[in-house]
Amino acid sequence: MVRKEDCLKQIREVIDGILSTVDEEGNPQSRVIDIMLIDEETVYFLTARGKDVYKEIINHPQVSYLNLRANKSVRITGIAKKLDNQKEWIDKMFEENKYMNNVYPGDARYILEPFYIEKGEIEFFDLTQKPILREKFTIGNWEIKEKGFLISEECIECGTCQDLCPQKIIKEGSPFEIAQNHCLHCGLCYENCPSEAIHRIE
Amino acid sequence: MVRKEDCLKQIREVIDGILSTVDEEGNPQSRVIDIMLIDEETVYFLTARGKDVYKEIINHPQVSYLNLRANKSVRITGIAKKLDNQKEWIDKMFEENKYMNNVYPGDARYILEPFYIEKGEIEFFDLTQKPILREKFTIGNWEIKEKGFLISEECIECGTCQDLCPQKIIKEGSPFEIAQNHCLHCGLCYENCPSEAIHRIE
């Protein structure tokens, strides 16, 4: 059982992860961003005002952040927001991350802008477990978007899905049931159900 | 001096990186995707037809892929395209990446779809060098989008930018000149030029 604090701890220990944004043309952009601080609820980071990523977050605040360590990923999908008291936050972040002075020595640090994730969802995904494991947590006021597939009452209990499932995580029943926390979302059950009883969660 | 083949080699050696796409609502989405094969020109990967990422690539083929090892990142921004001869490619990828059988045993592999990056740009970014180093390369027929700042003829050669630059990569001259391959794109020179001679590359 993984907890939200374990996810935040991984993010801080690994430090660098990938922040994805969308640009003015609606295309995805990504780059390495270090997480400078965490607390019980969220993560804090910096970027420079001259960078495209700064403009992108301001224009379109929904971002995706992904951190990976030894086949366990922690992903945050949510809204990035600028922090007030800019200088105070920058100084605190540099105090806790002294290596930042090698990149932005002296007062150069003030070209940076501090951000945090105001609200969103954290997804932990562990590929080392069999079956794989997913866990979701929220940051702030956010409705988690479920993904994957559901088996409906149209299920004829034939067992086709159970046999095909690469992770073997479909349980018998009326209807059969997908263990959502262990599902790859591959779609093999969905494509092969003879009674079309399996639906994509929208 | 880094070469394109070094970038592709890093991507293959590390195997896992982060693929960013945009979803139907225009928001960025990211997840770990392993690169299954490389050749001299591009990279090859798989995803399952049931996953959101599959739908996202089909609807909006421009993606961003980022691979990180020891503060050196390789990013590919480009167009993902489905491969023909699906089964042949899947079998080849599983042959070269036997661990994939643990996730998709037996014929479950055929729920996957093989893709490659048809065209785009590779950016190598090395934060371990002082100053930092960037190099760009193309995949297929692609025009590289330059970023950052340029010093124009309006430069009064006062040296303000040179003093402020956190990486110390602005050379004297008429006008002064930014060493583009070493620039953080932080914008400190741009914000502080007394003659507004520094312009963002658009």
Whether residue B1 has pLDDT greater than 90: no
Chain A residues whose CB is inside 8 A of the B18 CB are: 18, 20, 30, 66, 68
Whether residue A96 has pLDDT greater than 90: yes
Would strands A72-82 and A62-69 be described as parallel, antiparallel, or unpaired?
antiparallel
CB–CB of B30 and A130 under 8 A?
A: no
A140-145 long-range contacts (CB < 8 A, ≥24 apart) are A140/A41, A140/A42, A140/A78, A142/A78, A145/A121
B54 sits in which H/E element: helix B52-59
CATH number of A149-200: 3.30.70.20
Q: Does A192 touch chain B (CB under 8 A)?
A: no
- The pLDDT assigned to B193 comes to 98
**In angstroms, rounded to a whole number, what is the distance separating the alpha carbons of residues A104 and A94?**
10
Q: pLDDT per residue over B56-90, tens digit each?
A: 999 999 999 999 999 999 999 999 999 999 999 99
- The pLDDT assigned to A1 comes to 83
Q: Smallest CA–CA separation between B131 and chain A, in Å?
A: 9
- The pLDDT assigned to B190 comes to 98
Asked if B16 and B32 count as a contact pair (C-beta separation under 8 A), the reply is yes
CA-nearest residue of chain A to B61? A27
Mean pLDDT in chain B?
97
- The pLDDT assigned to A202 comes to 86
Looking at this predicted complex, what is its ipTM?
Answer: 0.96
φ and ψ of A115, to 5 deg: -130, 165
- The pLDDT assigned to B126 comes to 97
CB–CB of A73 and B32 under 8 A?
A: yes
Token representation of residue B46? 């798989």
**In angstroms, rounded to a whole number, what is the distance separating the alpha carbons of residues B83 and B117?**
10
Whether residue B149 has pLDDT greater than 90: yes
CB–CB of A62 and B28 under 8 A?
A: yes
Q: Does A22 touch chain B (CB under 8 A)?
A: yes
Q: Where in chain B is the domain with CATH 2.30.110.10?
A: 4-139
**Which of the residues A66, A75, A124, A190 would you substitute to probe the B interface, choosing the one with the greatest number of B C-beta atoms within 10 Å?**
A66
The mean pLDDT of B23-40, rounded to a whole number, is 97
SS3 A107: helix
Chain B residues whose CB is inside 8 A of the A20 CB are: 18, 20, 28-30, 64
Would you report the helix, strand and coil content of chain A in percent, each value rounded to 5?
A: 25, 35, 35
Question: Residues of A numbered 40-99 whose beta carbons fall under 8 angstroms of chain B's beta carbons: which are they?
Answer: 48-52, 60, 62-66, 68, 71, 73, 75, 77
Token representation of residue B133? 């180093």
Q: Where in chain A is the domain with CATH 3.30.70.20?
A: 149-200
Q: pLDDT per residue over A38-84, tens digit each?
A: 999 999 999 999 999 999 999 999 999 999 999 999 999 999 999 99
Q: pLDDT per residue over A132-146, tens digit each?
A: 999 999 999 999 989
Q: Does B180 touch chain A (CB under 8 A)?
A: no
Chain A residues whose CB is inside 8 A of the B32 CB are: 66, 68, 73, 125, 127
CATH architecture of A4-139: Roll (2.30)
Asked if A182 and A189 count as a contact pair (C-beta separation under 8 A), the reply is no
**In angstroms, rounded to a whole number, what is the distance separating the alpha carbons of residues A147 and A197?**
17
The mean pLDDT of B3-10, rounded to a whole number, is 97
- Angle made by CA atoms B60, B30, B118, in degrees to the nearest 5: 45
Whether residue B202 has pLDDT greater than 90: no
Asked if B7 and B65 count as a contact pair (C-beta separation under 8 A), the reply is no
Q: Smallest CA–CA separation between B136 and chain A, in Å?
A: 15
CB–CB of B26 and A26 under 8 A?
A: yes
